[in-house]
Chain A
């Protein structure tokens, strides 16, 4: 078979940092080709070169045999390469269809937008690729993160690309949309297109990728047919060292003390009748399809939006009116939020300022902050969580996703709160950091923390949580433990109406 896309010895340097050093990549039409690597391995830079957003310092790329050197994203798209990035590029104030056809709207003779033509094109696009139901005239700001990601994909597909690049596209999606996207990728490949697929989820890669290329430290370390390689080999190649295990040993450390007790807990019509006990030393998983109440549960427990029912924290009733109150004191609850960039971190501020934002009182004496005490707290957290940052003064926005997440963890761990609410804490994070975060969760549980843990990746719940509470339509569908805590049982409970919960 002939190669459609061929990149040889691609090199890119940013100042002193080498992002890519003689990386090779080749893929043929009609395949799903996975590109794997830890954060910082150079995947993003490589994709940006293909997308025309970044120009390489060295190396050559050929597309269908001829040299490919896009000077900007427009040229890349004209050559038939469409990327779907993790960082969403949509305009919140425009509607779904306006976003999809942004600056390519069908125009009339007097250069007004032909609304009907645009609607038809949108519906046709949705139908052709069996998109999940989303109204074309909805304003984008009203959509969930998952739906926005779907629209991002629609926008890329609307150009009918020869090469579709999906960069962590499933990290924001629920299980159903993920299934759809995986099917879509396979379908496109069967239709003779090339799909370059970047994901930190090996299961998905295994499901759809024909071939896999692994980057490490800016260079290509391996390329193989998916069916000819096992997970261990892939992970070893990604890490460059043998990863003992992704999931830590799960030893139950739950005591009989109830840390967080919910009775009849609910949030308007989206969440109702939740009775749940989270025990000291326990990691309690929460599962559910996108939009079945898990977000409401986590936000309401953190005091965002109203709620009804009773909440008991360490045996005492507690009304949580806002994050500040939730975080305060030894009976506090800390949240690692879903949206790292908009809810979790001050991207333009330093790692230090982010880490200590919630606990300034801890190093304030007589109203004046003490830089030495602050440094001590910051250094300790950076060391404990192995946050990879040049200095504590490095801007949080310049860290890799995994390290940003560690900073948010650190910020929450500096508070006295011993109940942790973790909302999809490993979303879009590399395998190495994922493993570290799971280990951290088990360690914290062993120290007496109580952890409520939602993940969109069911495997994580199965392997890390002691029990898993499954939500369906805003209600508690089942609590699974032991043998029953399996991906199959979780999906069953999340999808199918059952009598015996």
Chain B
């Protein structure tokens, strides 16, 4: 479709492979099937949160409410289910819908009332955090129902269930972005909302839908993550703010919107997870680990995002000065 987009995505995968090789040198045994499998499973959680984030960022926005949408879904699920499997039949759909609804509120705030996405989603994040603290009184919750644990850590014929789920979601996301009117509209809105509006693109609907999707995937990831850790706890969503955005950026999307693809985000999620696995092998203290992690992500994102989409943002001007225009 678009050569530059391909190049950015290709670069993300290339980076991933280089990182994998590097890891196998530093930490032999990292490339074992067991380790790879757990890496992919961990990447799936980032990947699912980053799915919605990808859509929002392509559309020219950003979703900072991800951590507490995720956390709220996790906490509410364990509280409502009380370790029982049966109630999940209504709890899971209801919480997914609730997550989507929060996303929709974000979308309306941004698209109708013109609240800057950073403010809108940050406010919603804080409101949800407060709500959950009030609701739970700050106390931890009961353990995750068995069915959810199966989804998160179980296997079908040796294949992690959560990975199957991720692949299915990735397929849907790819079709939405590449093969539907919604996808086309989203790229247009992210490139220039004004031009999109002048071209008859339903900008409001498109923006709201992107945020709705982000709320949905954050809630889904929250419940799956609860299954993985067997328990919901306060603050479990916090790491996913940074990682979901970083995954999108490493995946080659411009943080300013209008470009990128979920296929790239997948590589971004994997890169981040491999990094997380690699750093402990360096025998650093956990504080130092965070510092290195942050710096490495900063550098990676700058390299991947700025060098490519930053350059391409200049392309029209650049092209004009050299193209055959009078």
Contacts and interface: CB of A to CB of B under 8 A. Distances in A.
Contacts of A344: 195, 198
A252 interface: no
A346 interface: yes
A397 interface: yes
A357 B180 contact: no
Given A346-B191, A348-B313, A42 B200 contact: no
A296 interface: no
B324 A37 contact: no
A347 interface: yes
A40 B326 CA distance: 5
Interface string B291-325: 00000000000000000000011011001111111
A17 B198 contact: no
Interface stretch (B53-61, B93-101, B181-189): B181-189
B67 interface: no
Contact of B326 (A360, A395, A400): A400
B62 to A, nearest CB: 19
Nearest to B309: A348
Nearest to A12: B322
B85 interface: no
B206 to A, nearest CB: 11
B316 A361 contact: no
A427 to B, nearest CB: 14
A96 interface: no
B251 interface: no
Contacts of B320: 87, 397-398
Contacts of B188: 346, 349, 353, 357
A323 B2 contact: no
Contacts of A364: 180-181
Interface in B258-275: 258-259
A54 interface: yes
A217 B3 CA distance: 29
Interface string A356-370: 111011001001110
B324 A349 contact: no
Nearest to A347: B316
B197 A323 contact: yes
A353 B320 CA distance: 19
Nearest to B198: A343
Q: Which of A350, A393, A397 has most B Cβ within 10 Å?
A: A397
Contact of B192 (A43, A346, A356, A361): A346
Nearest to B201: A357
A322 interface: yes
B242 to A, nearest CB: 27
B205 to A, nearest CB: 9
A350 B315 CA distance: 12
B326 A324 contact: no
Nearest to B254: A348
B27 interface: no
Contacts of B326: 37-44, 400-401, 430
* Residue in B195, B197, B323, B326 with the greatest tally of chain A CB atoms within 10 Å: B326
A335 interface: yes
B19 interface: no
A14 B323 contact: yes
B254 to A, nearest CB: 9
Contacts of A54: 321
A19 B198 contact: no
B196 interface: yes
A491 interface: no
A17 B321 CA distance: 12
A19 B184 CA distance: 34
Contacts of B323: 14, 17, 398-400
Given A348-B313, A393-B2, A397-B319, A342 B192 contact: yes
Nearest to B203: A324
Interface string B45-75: 0000000000000000000000000000000
A348 B201 contact: no
A323 B199 contact: yes
B319 A48 contact: no
Interface in B180-236: 180-181, 184-185, 187-188, 191-192, 194-202
Interface string A399-440: 111000000000100010000000000000010000000000
Nearest to B197: A323
Nearest to B312: A348
A53 interface: yes
B281 interface: no
Contacts of A342: 192, 194-195
B181 A48 contact: no
Given A327-B200, A398-B319, A360 B324 contact: no
B200 A14 contact: no
Contacts of A398: 315-316, 319-320, 323
Interface string B155-196: 000000000000000000001000111001101100110111
Interface string A330-353: 000001010000111111111001
B325 A44 contact: yes
A344 B320 CA distance: 17
Nearest to B258: A348
Contacts of B315: 348, 395, 397-398
B198 A335 contact: yes
B199 A358 contact: yes
Given A323-B198, A348-B191, A357 B184 contact: yes
Interface in B15-55: none
A17 B322 CA distance: 9
B200 A323 contact: yes
B187 A395 contact: no
A419 B165 CA distance: 49
A201 to B, nearest CB: 14
A212 interface: no
A44 B198 CA distance: 29
A357 B195 CA distance: 10
A339 to B, nearest CB: 9
Contacts of B321: 44, 48, 53-54
Contacts of B3: 393
A335 B199 CA distance: 9
Interface string A210-232: 00000000000000000000000
Interface of A: 14-15, 17, 19, 37-44, 48, 53-54, 87, 302, 322-324, 326-328, 335, 337, 342-350, 353, 356-358, 360-361, 364, 367-369, 393, 395, 397-401, 411, 415, 430
Given A44-B326, A400-B324, 16 more contacts: A19-B324, A39-B324, A39-B325, A42-B326, A54-B321, A335-B198, A342-B192, A342-B195, A346-B258, A348-B312, A349-B187, A356-B184, A357-B199, A369-B181, A398-B315, A411-B199
25 contacts: A19-B324, A39-B326, A40-B326, A41-B326, A87-B320, A324-B202, A326-B200, A342-B194, A344-B195, A346-B192, A346-B196, A346-B258, A349-B187, A353-B188, A357-B184, A357-B188, A358-B199, A364-B180, A368-B179, A369-B179, A395-B319, A397-B319, A397-B320, A399-B325, A401-B326
State the 6 A-B residue pairs at the shortest beta-carbon distance, nearest first.
Answer: A397-B316, A327-B200, A398-B319, A14-B322, A40-B324, A360-B181
